[in-house]
Amino acid sequence: MTYVVEARNLAKTYDTGGARVLAVRGVNLSVERGEFVAIMGPSGCGKSTLLNLLAGLDRPTAGEVWLDGERIDQLSETQLAHVRRRKIGFVFQFFNLVPTLSVVENVELPLHVHGVDKAQRRARATELLTLVGLDEFAGSRPSELSGGMQQRVAIARALAPSPRLLLMDEPFGALDEMTRERMQAELLRIARETEAAVLFVTHSIPEAVYLSTRVVVMSPRPGRITDMIDIDLGPSRDLDTREADAFFKKVTEVREALRGIETGGVEPDIEQALEEPVEG
């Protein structure tokens, strides 16, 4: 089977202030088309580092990254940029919309970089704004939209080049609870319709359980995967899903997995590695 994205024994070390910091180690993860994987773990455990490695924004110290059957960690920067533009979409907590452009022009940006002609760009952007329910606001400026609406524009922009992989780093963290729930429902619908593989970093256990087909739990730094929990709540989820016994059982299962890593401590050899001086 060819996975959309695959990490093989990934490790990443940073040299900071004369010390070598081991951020992640021994990470093995594979994600199929249409799969929604939530990544959880304590702050600083390497969740965002893992996303950056999988996106080719950073290079692993050891291990391999594969995207659509192609190893990408050894590609040149130019080749990586080409892969990212064609196959990967990014959504972050902050919307990063261009304030001087209209909503539809913001969605068109990735396609402009790809050299897509104006008519095709506009047709694709209009299609995506309809998908996220914002076609009536195509001519508006980002400042005229609510936070949830701006995040929907950011999602539409990420989907513009029809990415195989969608990487989302706490995208709903700045939203109020009710807007967040509406955005979760929207994201599930969009993920089903596009069939992109999604990797979603969050600190919210209910959010992870509601959205995902699988929850990956990472240990404190150096981040490694300590548990993978299948979320078998079915493909169609709604407000009643959050009240179901199966939902609460999965929330408890994920919470216990996170509690387990918090009480387990850091392995002695890793404690030593964190203080290891940088040679030369």
Q: Report pLDDT for 269.
A: 41
Average pLDDT over residues 235-261: 92
The predicted structure's pLDDT at residue 98: 95
**12-41: per-residue pLDDT in tens?**
999 887 788 999 999 999 999 999 999 999
Whether residue 275 is predicted with pLDDT greater than 70 in this model: the reply is: no
Residue 73 has a pLDDT of: 95
> Contact 22/270 with Cβ under 8 angstroms?
yes
* pLDDT attached to residue 279: 37
> By percentage, how much of the chain surpasses pLDDT 90?
67
Closest among 40, 56, 119 to 90, alpha carbons compared? 56
Would you state the pLDDT for residue 273?
40
Q: Which residue has the higher pLDDT, 24 or 272?
A: 24
Residues whose CB is less than 8 angstroms from the CB of residue 104 and which lie 6 or more positions away in sequence, other chains included: 122, 125, 126, 129, 138, 139
What was the pLDDT predicted at 79? 94
* Closest by Cα among 169, 194, 269 to 224: 269
Q: What is the pLDDT of residues 52-108, one digit of tens each?
A: 999 999 999 999 999 999 999 999 999 999 899 889 999 887 888 999 999 999 999
By C-alpha distance, which of 149, 210, 67 is closest to 157?
149
CA 217 from centre of chain? 14
Within-domain flag for 280: no
Q: Say how many C-beta atoms besides its own lie within 10 A of residue 69's C-beta.
A: 10
Q: Are strands 5-16 and 19-31 parallel, antiparallel or unpaired?
A: antiparallel
Asked whether the beta carbons of 225 and 29 are under 8 A apart, the reply is yes
In this predicted structure, the answer to whether residue 277 has a pLDDT above a threshold of 50 is no
Strand 36-40 to 62-67 pairing: unpaired
Query: What is the mean pLDDT of the segment spanning 135-156?
Result: 93
Residue 186 has pLDDT above 90, yes or no: no
Burial-class residue 275 by CB neighbours within 10 Å (0-12, 13-18, 19+): exposed
Structural domain range at position 106: 5-274
Output the DSSP codes for the chain: ---SEEEEEEEEEEEETTEEEEEEEEEEEEE-TT-EEEEE-STTSSHHHHHHHHTTSS--SEEEEEETTEE-TTS-HHHHHHHHHHHEEEEESS----TTS-HHHHHHHHHHHTT--HHHHHHHHHHHHHHTT-GGGTTS-GGGS-HHHHHHHHHHHHHTT--SEEEEESTTTTS-HHHHHHHHHHHHHHHHHH--EEEEE-S-HHHHHHH-SEEEEEPSSSB-EEEEEE--S-S---GGGGGSHHHHHHHHHHHHHHHHHHHH---HHHHHHHTPBPP-
> The domain spanning residue 139 has which CATH number?
3.40.50.300
| Domain total of the chain | 1
pTM higher than the cut 0.75: yes
Q: Residue 263: what pLDDT?
A: 62
Task: Tell me the pLDDT of the chain averaged across its residues.
Answer: 89
